[in-house]
Amino acid sequence: MFLKILTVAGLATFEIYAAIPAGFAFRLSPWTIFFASVVGGLAGAVVAAFFGDKIRAFFHKKKKTPAEETKKHPVITKLWNKYGVVGLGILGTITVGAPISIAVGTGLNVNLKQLLVWCCVGVIIRCSVFTAIGHYGLKLV
């Protein structure tokens, strides 16, 4: 049981869309899936926020400019231009995930503390919505 919960949390560190169905495949309760995916998602956001710049500097000696990040992630850039830090944190996390939103925010020189707070809110919203969809969807079957 503990390994199943740890697997769900580990998957949520990278992608919540994989973690929640895995939790239902392991026949865990929806509350366990929710809490494990939230813990994993928050861990992924924190790792991306605090170590992302160092990891990127290690792999890429030349730091990307905001123009290069804009070309790479046009959806997140549109969210940034329209909604700012809140949109990038919440909507970016819901659509593409917290690590990518934080990476783009780092490229756009966003205040990481504010972005991390809003990404954490987005992780909680994303986990609750998709766990509820999975739970009630399985009840229909």
DSSP state of 96: T
Cα–Cα nearest to 89, from 110, 74, 72, 68: 110
Per-residue pLDDT, 58: 66
Instruction: Give me the average pLDDT of each 10-residue run along the chain (141 residues).
Output: 94 90 95 96 90 67 58 69 86 87 81 90 94 94 82
Indicate the pTM of the whole model: 0.81
CA distance 29 to 135: 9
Specify whether the CB–CB gap between 110 and 49 falls below 8 A. no
